[in-house]
Chain A
Amino acid sequence: MKKAAYLLPLLLVLALIVGFSSYMRTPGPGPSPDEGYKVGDKAMDFKLKNVDGKTVSLSSNAGAKGYIVVFTCNTCPYAQAYESRIMALHQKYASQGYPVVAINPNDPQIAPGDSFEKMQERATEKKYAFPYLFDETQSVARTFGATRTPHVYVLQRSGQDFKVAYIGAIDNNTEDGTAATERYVESAMTQLMAGKPVQTTSTKAIGCTIKWKKKA
């Protein structure tokens, strides 16, 4: 009975908190929609470990005109569905100064198939020609505002900086890329390289939620 006496106000306070948070997206473990980059923002440089053991940062490739940054992973079936399209983007645009940089933000505690060792295995097996970086602290994904895999950020160099030119999906058909009627990243790249403004600067797509570390 005594226990219930102090439980009741506690429950009431909880109910009030929940009540006030109605009509909002409840903050989860990942970045809230207000966090992360918007198109036009300057992307902060980062230092992440590549599958070859070396550290990669945006500034380490002086010849890059920009980057196609893709948050992806080993285990998400949607990331797998897009894997060959990510490889094709690198093949097409690296020689034109826009290489792919793939980043795995998943916590291997939750997704064991996304450990650094498993990343190395996949990169070797699939012969990735681009860096595949491990965002171990998840701070890069958080800074970018990535929520899912795959999640693309096209960056364009502006002096020493890199600015976000496009955020979103690769195309509008996950199951069958050949049936896609919009190829968002390719369109953005064509427009960027022609010095024109990107028409569709952000899109949404279904993907796997990033496996955020459980709060201690």
Chain B
Amino acid sequence: MKHLRVLVLLLLCLGAAPAWAQKVSVVKLPALQRVLARPTDTTYVINFWATWCKPCIEELPHFEKVRARYANQKVRVLLVSLDFPSKLEQKVKPFVKQQRLASTVWLLNETDANAYIDKVDPKWSGALPFTLLINNRRKLRTSFEQPLTEAELTQALRPFVRP
């Protein structure tokens, strides 16, 4: 009984905890490649952005909505910041906190863009924002080298999700 009460209390705490992620993981390319190669029936919505990129910031709320709307489906939103690693504390973390981003946020710690862009997607020229929708089990993959409206993102997701 006591245990149960503790459990209930814990659950309550979890529920009341801020629903946004304030953590930004700094990763190298192989971590990203593992996600891109995952053979499961999970749809990954991967958005490459930066705090200095205005069109990126304008479309971030759409990805947050996708995360919330498909929270009970196998849909994962991953926001990969291409800010310089030196801007992590000064720019990226405060931005993520201020915007209350609840999606997973990574910062890709790679300098040589020419070496990694093709490994992410050969069709990507390097312009930001860039968005990838992937489901490897179902062999679905779409990419956008342009900012997306909420309607465009919703439409692009249709083959990937249950209505």
Contact = CB atoms under 8 A, between A and B. Distances in A.
Interface of A: 14-15, 18-19, 21-26, 28-30, 33, 77-78, 111, 147-148, 168-169, 172-175, 179, 181-182, 184, 203-212
Interface string B142-163: 1111110000000110110000
Chain B CB count within 10 A is highest, among A172, A173, A184, A209, for: A209
A169 B156 CA distance: 30
A15 B113 contact: no
13 contacts: A28-B144, A28-B146, A30-B127, A33-B125, A148-B126, A169-B114, A173-B112, A182-B112, A205-B113, A206-B113, A206-B128, A209-B145, A210-B127
Interface string B77-91: 000001010100000
Contact of A173 (B111, B118, B145): B111
A208 B127 contact: yes
Interface in B63-86: 82, 84, 86
Given A77-B52, A209-B145, A18 B82 contact: no
Question: Could you tell me the dominant secondary structure of chain A's interface residues?
Answer: loop
Contacts of B125: 33, 147-148, 204
B35 interface: no
Contacts of A212: 146
A209 B146 contact: yes
Task: Report, nearest first, the 8 A-B pairs whose CB atoms are least far apart.
Answer: A28-B146, A148-B127, A209-B127, A77-B52, A204-B117, A147-B125, A25-B123, A203-B114
A111 B54 CA distance: 10
A205 B111 CA distance: 10
B158 A205 contact: no
A15 B123 contact: no
Size class of the B contact interface (CB-based, 8 Å): 35 or more
A17 B148 CA distance: 18
B41 to A, nearest CB: 15
Contacts of B127: 30, 147-148, 206-210
A209 B55 contact: yes
A77 B50 CA distance: 11
Contact of B113 (A18, A19, A169, A211): A169
Contacts of A147: 125-127, 145
Contacts of A30: 127, 145-146
Chain A CB count within 10 A is highest, among B118, B126, B128, for: B126
B8 interface: no
